[in-house]
Amino acid sequence: MVALSTCEAEYVAASSTVCKAIWLKNILKELKHRQEECTVIYVDNKLAIELAKNSVQHGRSKHIDTSLLEMGFGDSFLFFIFMWFCFQCQVLKSQNVNCNSKDLIALEGFLNGLDSRIDGWAPNSSSVCCSWVGVYCNGSFGVLGRRVIGLDLGNKGLKGNVLKSLAGLDQLKFLNLSSNSLKGNVSSNLFRLKQLQVLDLSYNDFSSLIPTDTHLPSILVFNVSGNLFTGHHPLLVGSSNLLHFIISDNQFSGNTNPDICNSSTQIQVLQFSMNSFSGIFPAGFGNCSSLQEVSLDSNNLTGNLPDDLFRLSTLRQLFLQENGLSGQLSNRIGNLSNLVDLDLSKNLFFGSILDAFSKLKNLEFFLLIRIVSVAICLLPC
């Protein structure tokens, strides 16, 4: 929008900020980190402050459009997690930028393993790594320096290997290395950081196996999509707080294992798309009672849909296209009353589910197309 006065610009900006602050407080509440104290919004325009205190219409304010764009939760989940993390960090760089010497060694080791530089990093500048770009430290100024608890280096053009030194950041809570050109093996110790809540390694060229003995008890978001990981997918045993499990577009193989639901009963998103999973679609995903999205498309799964899948009343998105699933479709799919997107195309299902559509009142997208080869006789019979 175009503001007609500085008062209007400041008032609308403040309104937008308040909206975001309220949204973030709700996210904190869902994550069981309720914020009891008030959020302070700083405004430096006297008229805007007075208008906020007494929002009556008059000549200077009656034309102000205070409508705000609706914000989507699904695509912005990592952003809100990161914003919550930044609030928790209490980043006070102007007061103290000295970091713990152990963390400094870990960061310098990570930097030395890269084939590229990181703008804003100065490894020769004593121990002031809390001022480096993408590095976040806690607010506690101990005698050994502040601890690094966040590393946000997504889309920085990084090239090279991630050495095991990065796992030396034992207080790390947020790690984002997405959308770079990093390659090679990922140290198994990186999957054993007890404090880590968000791990995003997506869209790199990481390869090898992910260890079966991962230990990420605090993890909320696990995203390794768009890499070259192989073998069986991890189960993250003991990660009871896990919400998003995203391993799409890799080279994982074998069966999909629903035991992840036994470890993480609160999980909301499962994305297994574009791998090489095979075997019969297993029963057990129905134990993930909070699921909102299941994406198993573009694999080699066979068999029919298991009965427990139809117990997921919270499910909003179900993507199973491009597999070898078969059998008669069940009208019990109507039990998924909150479904918004449903894609069963390029499988071998048969039968009618017309009766189920009366229950799918929220459905916006549905695709069920079977590609059938037809022989055409060109010679007279």
pLDDT tens figures, 145-161: 789 999 999 999 999 98
pLDDT tens readout for residues 232-257: 999 999 999 999 999 999 999 999 99
Instruction: State pLDDT tens for residues 318-343.
Output: 999 999 999 988 888 999 999 999 99
DSSP-assigned beta bridge partners for residue 135: 151
Smallest CA-to-CA distance from 49 within 39, 36, 38, 61 is with 61
pLDDT reported for residue 301: 97
CA-based nearest residue to 282, from 249, 305, 252, 311: 305
**Distance from C-alpha of 278 to C-alpha of 286, rounded to nearest angstrom:** 19
Burial class (CB in 10 A: 0-12, 13-18, 19+), 318: buried
Instruction: Extract the tokens encoding 311.
Output: 């117990």
Domain boundaries, the chain: 1-71, 80-367
Other Cβ atoms within 10 Å of 120 Cβ, number: 11
Residue type, 206: F
Q: How far is CA 89 from the centre of its chain?
A: 19
Q: Report the half-sphere exposure of 309 (CA within 13 A, side-chain side).
A: 24
pLDDT in tens, 103-135: 999 999 999 889 988 988 877 655 688 889 899
Q: What is the pTM of this model?
A: 0.74
User: Which tokens sit at 95?
Assistant: 């007061």
Identify the pLDDT of residue 196. Answer: 96
Q: Do the bridges between strand 135-137 and strand 148-152 make them parallel or antiparallel, or are there none, so unpaired?
A: antiparallel
List the one residue out of 197, 228, 231 whose CA is nearest residue 86.
197
Give me the CATH topology for the region 80-367.
Answer: 3.80.10
